[in-house]
Amino acid sequence: MLNITAARKAKKQSLELNMAPLIDMVFILLIFFIVTTSFVKETGIQINRPAAATAVAKTRSSIMIGITRENRIFMESREIDIRAVRANVERALAENPEGEVVIVADMDSSTRAVITTMDACTLAGAENVSIAASRPNTAN
């Protein structure tokens, strides 16, 4: 004769849900989002930008280079020498070939520092080099 109690116990044991595939799937999604996220690397310094009526916001990831009023150059939150700009931009372009270089120069920085930095970026292979500006306040 068939033992009904034993059959019910066997069914209860087989109703367990295996969570391992679900956890694996969550980790795979997490890794996917981390890898595909683009991070904007700031210059790491506070700069007083000049205003321009034609300023346009950039949507692509950019290589940011900051120039202070004392003509000190910063990239990725660290100070670099003017002679090291080309090597640093080449390294950044190797990591992100689609990257655009944005020079964030203080309004009181010298033109010489800005032009020398732009020249080094162009020599490093950057096709798009622009200077950051802020929009002027149009409030009356």
CA distance 53 to 58: 15
Q: How confident is the model at residue 74 (pLDDT cuts 50, 70, 90)?
A: very high
Name which of 134, 107, 117, 112 is nearest 80 in CA terms. 117
- 9 domain-assigned: no
SS3 of residue 129 by DSSP: strand
**How many domains does the chain fold into?**
1
Name which of 11, 28, 51, 39 is nearest 139 in CA terms. 51
Q: Could you tell me what percent of the chain has a pLDDT over 70?
A: 69
Dihedral, CA of residue 54, residue 75, residue 49 and residue 130, to nearest 10: -20
- 91 domain-assigned: yes
What pLDDT, on the 0 to 100 scale, is given for residue 140? 43
Residues 27-36, mean pLDDT to the nearest whole number: 87
Q: Mean pLDDT over all residues of the chain?
A: 80
- CATH number for the domain including 54? 3.30.420.270
Residue 88 pLDDT > 90, yes or no? Answer: yes
- 31 domain-assigned: no
Residue 89 pLDDT > 90, yes or no? Answer: yes
Domain of residue 139, residue span: 40-140
Q: How confident is the model at residue 118 (pLDDT cuts 50, 70, 90)?
A: very high
Angle at 83 between CA 96 and CA 106, to 5 degrees: 75
- 86 domain-assigned: yes
Q: Is the Cβ–Cβ distance between 60 and 28 less than 8 Å?
A: no
Residue 42 pLDDT > 90, yes or no? Answer: no
- 25 domain-assigned: no
- 23 domain-assigned: no
98 CB-near residues (< 8 Å, 6+ apart): 60, 61
Kindly give the pairing relationship between strand 73-75 and strand 100-105. Answer: unpaired
Angle at 59 between CA 107 and CA 114, to 5 degrees: 25
Question: What is the pTM assigned to this prediction?
Answer: 0.61
34-38, 64-68, 85-89, range with the lowest pLDDT:
34-38
- 119 domain-assigned: yes
- 113 domain-assigned: yes
46-50, 73-77, 117-121, 124-128, range with the lowest pLDDT:
46-50
Residue 82 pLDDT > 80, yes or no? Answer: yes
